[in-house]
Amino acid sequence: MSKPRLVILHRNMGLLGGAQRDLMVALPEHAQRWDITVATLNAPQLLRDRCQQLNIDLIVPDVPWQKPSGPVAEITARSGRSALKAWRALRTKLQPALDAADACCIILGTGGLEVLDIVPDGRPLFVYIHERNKGIYDDVLQRNMDGSLRTSPIVKKIALAYLRRWDQRWHKRLWRRPKSAVAANTPTSSRMLASSYGWPTSTEWIAGDTKFRDGQQRPAEVGVLWPAIDPAAWPVEETKQEQEVWASLSHKPSGPYLLTIGRACFMKGSKEAVQVAAAAGLPLVHIGGGETKEMKRQAQQFGAELIVMPRIDETEIVALMRNAHALIATARTEGFGLTPMEAIMVGTPALVVDDCGFTHTITDGLNGRRLPWPSDEDGLQQWVQAIEEAGEEDKQILWSEAGRKRVLQRFTANHQAEGLARSLSKMGVDVKTTDLEILPGLDPA
């Protein structure tokens, strides 16, 4: 029996952020159930190699699309209009795959729903919106690292009025579309997404348990499809390759250190990470670039030792993660937060703020620590105590075992692929589903 055909559409895989990495991890499991075509306006070599390995057709423009940037581009929704033009230009190449498809899946990081314009009417569609567009519906991207606003709220509201209308237009079109399902990556992301557009949300948080509001199978709520973590990429035991990489890695600290991963900015709580490291008296290693000059300034101000790593590969990241005293995650409005779960997989304690997506993954004292914002002396002291606790071998073993069990029970690529397949099967697609147990989401963990 031949597999049903699925077209997966993603605006910009070249970013290789959380949403893009998630698809890369899940592709092999999706390919077990579907004959897949991937279409993207920008494909990095990593994606090209993965598609070739899995015998997946990859359709891309002759010239990679680049997202317009800058204040004018944001105010005029230039990236959306540019992407729409690029998708329409790609339609000729993509049309045979769309015509033959049994279903389509749109995957979004933040923004990018313009691709809806080329998806055939009546084709079963699953839209996986990891998180709402932070640049439009909150101000975390408009703040400096110290929390000060770059522009006044009134100016921002006026300046982004057209961009909001553009964004709302595409989401209204999605909500009216028959044979469609919408999910985000956690209950927090679902609620934030739904609040932006006046949509209802699920109350059960079971991936694949899609509900429709009418006989045309239009979406009744925003559900959840959890991100995928690849256990093979984060092995319990250090591999020989990892040992060699660690031995030769430059810029690494000579003693215990704390680790933070993600683009340095206000949203990622980079200032707070520096404060925690200063209070604990341990060096802070930062991976992910971003506003590193300002992060260094903050480190100098608080008296913290900061080591900003250059661009490094995946094995180097695993080695830095495994050898860290603890991973600290102080992000704001984080949808899921992959890095704490990845840290847990290699036995490194994960210390996170008690906020947003972290509340669905870390149970305080069971598989890590969920702590208050280090915004006052009491909060900082709790972080210092947690860092000391992270050095206890029995706690490291306990947290890692409980965390790894949670990942294998809930957050594997198989769980994600099964959730997608179950959703589309409810729209009449003849796709293989299994009896895999999909547990309700932890809200909170």
Going by their DSSP bridges, the two strands 125-129 and 103-108 should be labelled as parallel
Instruction: Spell out the domains of the chain, with CATH numbers in brackets.
Output: 5-228+412-425 (3.40.50.2000), 231-409 (3.40.50.2000)
CB within 8 A of 212, min separation 6: which ones?
Answer: 218, 219, 220, 426
Q: Is 149 helix (H, G, I), strand (E, B) or coil?
A: strand
Structure tokens at 18: 């959380």
Query: Degrees (nearest 5) of the Cα angle 269, 375, 378?
Result: 135
In this predicted model, what pLDDT tens digit does every residue of 323-367 receive, in sequence order? Answer: 999 999 999 999 998 999 999 999 999 999 999 999 999 999 999
Is 261 strand, coil or helix?
strand
Residue 110's pLDDT is 74
Rounded distance between C-alpha atoms, residue 81 and residue 91, angstroms = 16
* Cα–Cα distance measured from residue 63 to residue 86, given in angstroms and rounded to the nearest whole number: 10
Structure tokens at 105: 């899946």
Q: Which helix (H) or strand (E) holds 35?
A: strand 35-40
**pLDDT recorded at residue 340:** 97
pLDDT given at position 369:
98
Q: What is the DSSP letter of 69?
A: -
**pLDDT one digit per residue (tens) for the chain, 445 residues:** 699 999 999 999 998 888 899 999 999 999 999 999 999 999 999 999 999 999 999 999 999 999 998 888 888 899 999 999 999 999 999 999 999 999 999 999 877 899 999 999 999 999 999 988 887 888 888 899 999 998 877 767 787 899 999 999 999 999 999 999 999 999 999 999 999 999 999 999 999 999 999 999 999 999 999 999 999 999 999 999 999 999 999 888 999 999 999 999 999 999 999 999 999 999 999 999 999 999 999 999 999 999 999 989 999 999 999 999 999 999 999 999 899 999 999 999 999 999 999 999 999 999 999 999 999 999 999 999 999 999 999 999 999 999 999 999 999 999 999 999 999 999 999 999 999 999 999 999 9
Q: How many residues does the chain have?
A: 445
**pTM for this structure?**
0.95
User: CA separation (Å) from 398 to 137, 233, 284, 342?
Assistant: 39, 21, 24, 16
